[in-house]
Amino acid sequence: MDPFKKVELGNTGVTVPRLGLGTAPLSGATLGDGLYGGTAHDEAVRILDRAQQLGISYVDTAPLYGTGRAEARIGFSAYTSVDRDSFVISTKIGRVLDPMPDGVAAQDDPDGIGELVAVNSWTRDNVLRSLEDSLKRLNTERIDIVYVHDPDVETYGKEQAINEAFPTLIELKEQKVIKAIGCGMNEWQMPLEFIQRFDLDIILLAGRYTLLDHSGLSQFLPECVNRNVKIAVGGPYNSGILARDLSKPVTFDYEPAPDDLVTQARELTKICLEHHVDLKAVALQFVLAHPAIATAIPGAQSIAELEENIKMVQQDIPATLWTSMREAGLIPQNAPTPS
């Protein structure tokens, strides 16, 4: 499978490669107390620079990731010094960032943003403010794709998204300020309502269609195909269980993985070993085989992980592996697999 093959998002003029880069892991510690965890500024910028050199032409981010740090690090990277039409950036609305009282100031912060705190909001005013702030942090003149981020985290989020956020993004798209719109969530039920109500281009679906979690397959993905709504798969490794040593503690959806899912992952791994294929390769190529899915955007915490993700999409997988997984009841009979 070609990780750099482009897929068009409807009639938006936006094309994304089969493999992009998620930047949540690149939003970590810069300040001395390690408050933010994860990858620090210099290493994050090196990873982004290498991604640009390797030809990864879709980068996804959000104000929530490190409270602005992921966006700011893209703004320091090689992506800002190349032809803007050579890559696609997506970010999200749903959080605005305010200075943290008595926090480190921007001039004392390698990321140049200081300590910020995220406030949940999907109002029109905060959609516009969020995008303006993101443009500054990203050091770019435009954002190609904008997702409504996690409106399920507040009781008022869905109402604000429907009444204010989506209408605002639709207006900006009509004005050609942005090119494509959608939502980014860790569930499929609310996005299903959204695509039935609004003319959306792409949904960032995190963790709900993977080698381990097939919950989006029966209702949501067919509706996306029918409406020509494309999917970007976030968390294709379910936050680690499909990418880590299963003899050690692993996570599923950023929590300790339940025993039944660890057992299922071990069964998947056993079949991969029998066919001399990496589990990560199977995880990525499984999701990319579905016609609704345009791209997968795993994160990377090192250049080695970044380069490995490319190799995993390119790895040859024998058809007998998919047959074995179906016969073992590990993937649904009707789940598309690579030809």
Query: Please, what is the Cα angle at 147 between 146 and 152, to 5 degrees?
Result: 155
291's tokens:
């016609």
CA dihedral 25, 26, 30, 32 (to 10 degrees): 20
The catalytic residue among 36, 58, 60, 230 is: 60
The catalytic residue among 92, 173, 179, 230 is: 92
Whose CA is closest to 16, among 58, 45, 54? 58
Single-letter residue type at 25: P
The catalytic residue among 65, 79, 147, 209 is: 65
In angstroms, the Cα distances linking 260 to 97, 139, 186, 314 are 39, 45, 20, 30
Any bridge partners for residue 89, and if so which?
Answer: 59
Under 8 Å between Cβ of 173 and 141: no
Which 3 state secondary structure label does DSSP give 98? strand
Q: Which H/E stretch holds residue 321?
A: helix 319-327
DSSP string, 156-172: THHHHIIIIIHHHHHHH
In angstroms, the Cα distances linking 70 to 48, 73, 150, 239, 329 are 10, 5, 17, 18, 39
Per-residue exposure over 65-93, b if at least 16 CB sit within 10 Å of its own CB, e if not:
bbbbbbbbbbbbbebeeeeeeebbbbbbb
In angstroms, the Cα distances linking 330 to 204, 212, 260, 322 are 24, 8, 12, 9
Whose CA is closest to 47, among 296, 307, 272? 307
Q: Is 92 annotated as catalytic?
A: yes
Under 8 Å between Cβ of 96 and 126: yes
Q: Which residues are designated catalytic? A: 60, 65, 92
